[in-house]
Structure 1
Amino acid sequence: MTALTATKILELTNSVSGEYCGKLLADFGAQVIKLEDPVNGSPTRRMAPLATAGADPERSGLFAYLNTNKRSVAWDVHTDVGLTTLTQLLQRVDVVITDRPVDGLKSIGLDPDTLATKFPRLVVCSITPFGAESVSEPESGQPLHAEDLNVFHSSGWGFHTPSAAQISRPPLKGAGRFLASYEAGLEAAMCTVSVLFERETSQLGQFIDISTQAVLASRADYVLGQMIAGDMNVSNDRTAYDLHGPADIYACADGFVYIWMSAPAHWEALSKMLGAPAWMEDFPGNWLERDCTPERVAECRQHVGEWLKTQHKAQVAEDAQTLGLILVPVNNPADLLSSPQYQYREFFTELHHPVLGAVDYPTVPYKLSKTPATLKSPAPLLGEHNVVLGELNAEILANGSTAERNT
């Protein structure tokens, strides 16, 4: 049994954040029905990387990753029949994941005011760029469009990216393609599980309003926290986020490593690893904390960088960590697949997709001993599980009206 066995979820979302939220819950055993447009399916089905073989809309590696363990029902909810079917589904699920703002939810009865009377036990998790109450586009009822890049910069993160500020360069986009979406999806999944736990006592559902912008702002660099706590002077200068130390990415003989140094213990560990070179004698032992000048940083980076060019990243990382120095390899996909740690933890699971073939999928970065996350099935083909609607009709005929079951 997994952690969310018997939890039924309806996924009404076209976003990476919503699909990632659904994936996290599905991988822990929730029964997730993904309601898709019958013609085109989810927009993520057309997002790269795309397999060179196979027909659309089943070639997307992104969709394959985001939708493991789910079932796909292709159904148009904008028709009278579709809306009726949606209402019937809502009476049989525990959670709805959506990316529509409040005014876009009113037409299908999922706004907070309607929920309390029509679906009192239902949990609705809304994930939008700027919150469910944000202004919608005219007529469509969809949230104002915002890519992850827009949300990333509106949250303030771009202001100190890269963290070692280079005033002559503009702010960057941050790590990965969908940093904002993945963080929001994770936040949404945790909030959903928390509300489901609370419902065991109250017997009442809740409306969860996830703003991707707010989530990313909450992940802001700890420098901001130090300003709020009074440990640093409050400043809107971009250089305030520069830690002014020798931390950096360095080239090795076979790739790159990242080093973080901020304390005397790190300096001592570096000295042991390099064999106590003469150039280090000119630096005071506590210079990283009390006298971290630009000149010393530049000299340190030069010497360390020259030495690392002769080293292999995996071995030097192991040696450094044994000494207590924070040094890690910059891994590529091949490194991750061959990682002894990941292999020991069985981090990757092979699934066979009917179009993409056999692929190794990453699982989750945490393991629960009694209720682990498991990957049992690949992402569904568009409309692969339309039989769910037939099962629903059979249930209605067998049990009569469903309205009473949700009250």
Structure 2
Amino acid sequence: MTALNTYRVLELAENVSGEYCGKLLADFGADVIKIERPGSGSPTRNMGPFAGGEAGTEKSGLFAYLNTNKKSVALDLSREEGMLALGKLLDHVDVVIDDHRSGWLGDVGLDPVSFQDKRPGVVLCSITAFGQNPPEDRQNAEDLTVFHSSGWGYHTPGGGYDQRPPLKGPGRFLVSYEAGMEAAMYVASALYEREESKKGQFIDVSMHEVMASRADYVLAQFVAGEMDVSASRNAFDLFGPAGIFPCRDGFIYVFMATPQHWEGYKQLVGHPDWAKDLPSDWLMKGLTPERIANCRRDLCEWLKSKSKDEAAAEAQALGITLVPVNTPKDLLASPQYQHREYFTEVNHPVQGTALYPTVPYRMSETPAQITSPAPLLGQHSDEPMASVSGGEK
């Protein structure tokens, strides 16, 4: 039994955000039919890394990850026969996922305002950079654009380095992954609501709004009027001894802001003389550059002889928020990840066998599972058509 095995999803998406949304639903059992362009397929098929280091329609590691458990149907939506086939599929699905620019859905007969006139039970989810009907100059925004417009460039780097240029964010597709995850949760919620109402709905996911919702709580304080709005990037900085520090075999990240953190820290580094007369709440109310420097200095000294796992274990036992900065190799070797079976071995017919990450949560009765690799282009073009022509869903 899987969580979503009774639902059929039509994926029109051609970008990371929509494909990741579809993947999350597929890995929980939904029957996801992906529409692809004949010959070339989804644009993500042309994005690396590539198996064997050579580009190819079936060699994209990104596509392979984003499209596990799906079916691929090649349809040319620029031709009448392609649109007719799409219409037949739309009559037999519960969910439609799209991530094209706003307005595109209307071109394929799924105008967000009127689609329910014909298909009242469908949940239609659109993921766009800035929602429906944005200004023209925001229609084609990329992840990097959305990342910075949502405040994250303003927020990073932290640690008081406001004179340094803003960071681009981790990876290529942070924004897309966050938006895709949000969209998948909205779709699941809409399907749950449909059990009672018997009605579908339109879900408008703005990647910009998703990322703004992930920003530091300081942004919320600006909006609520609890802090003066500041043009300084230091407004987001909590100062204190938080940050990434070297240890014997790599790096750790530490965050300290409470009296409990402070008491644990003193014990960890051996109760230094400079710390004896400091108030217990100085991390919240008594920050000074000198105190922060002393705190960081002693922490660095203590870390010199510690591996990152040793440091994390000792610090966490004292209630300090200190964690290793893990490499991919560390994650594969992690006892916790191994116990949770976070990585699953998947055999792709072209790319071969590799370990794929699953999801960071487990449902005891209906866990997410990767049961099939990403499809070859057009692999299932006949199968869904035969299914819907017989009236099945």
Instruction: Say whether the fold is shared (TM-score over 0.5).
Output: yes
Residue 163 of structure 2 corresponds to: 168
Query: Any idea what the Cα deviations from partners look like across 1:193-233, whole Å, max 9, x if unmatched?
Result: 11111111222111111110111111111112234445434
Q: Does 1:208 align with 2:203?
A: yes
CA contact (8 A) 2:40 2:57 kept: yes
User: Which range is displaced more, 118-127 or 93-102?
Assistant: 93-102
Shift of 1:112: 2.1
CA distance, structure 2, for counterparts of residue 200 and residue 333 of structure 1? 41
State the secondary structure of the residue aligned to 2:309.
Answer: helix
Instruction: Could you tell me which runs of 5 or more consecutive residues in structure 2 were left unpaired when the two chains were aligned.
Output: none
Q: Does 1:306 align with 2:301?
A: yes
Shift of 1:73: 1.2
Aligned runs of 1:7-406 on 2, under 5 Å? 7-52=7-52, 56-135=56-135, 144-281=139-276, 283-392=278-387, 395-396=388-389, 398=390
CA distance, structure 1, for counterparts of residue 376 and residue 54 of structure 2? 12
What amino acid is the match of 1:243? L
Query: Any idea what the Cα deviations from partners look like across 1:245-264, whole Å, max 9, x if unmatched?
Result: 10010001100000111112
Report how many residues are paired.
393
What amino acid is the match of 1:80? E
User: Which range is displaced more, 33-42 or 231-240?
Assistant: 231-240
Instruction: Could you tell me which runs of 5 or more consecutive residues in structure 1 were left unpaired when the two chains were aligned.
Output: 138-142
Query: Any idea what the Cα deviations from partners look like across 1:110-166, whole Å, max 9, x if unmatched?
Result: 0123312111111110001111222569xxxxx822211100111122111112232
CA contact (8 A) 1:95 1:124 kept: yes
Runs of 4+ in 1 over 6 A off after TM superposition: none
Shift of 1:389: 4.7
- Structure-2 change in CA distance of 1:5 and 1:255 (3 Å): same
CA distance, structure 1, for counterparts of residue 53 and residue 105 of structure 2? 38
CA contact (8 A) 1:351 1:361 kept: yes
CA contact (8 A) 1:16 1:182 kept: yes
User: Which range is displaced more, 85-94 or 95-104?
Assistant: 95-104
CA distance, structure 1, for counterparts of residue 13 and residue 261 of structure 2? 46
State the secondary structure of the residue aligned to 2:114.
Answer: helix
Question: TM-score by structure 1 length?
Answer: 0.92
Query: Any idea what the Cα deviations from partners look like across 1:377-403, whole Å, max 9, x if unmatched?
Result: 1111111112225414xx52x55xx9x
Residue 140 of structure 1 corresponds to: none
CA contact (8 A) 1:158 1:173 kept: yes
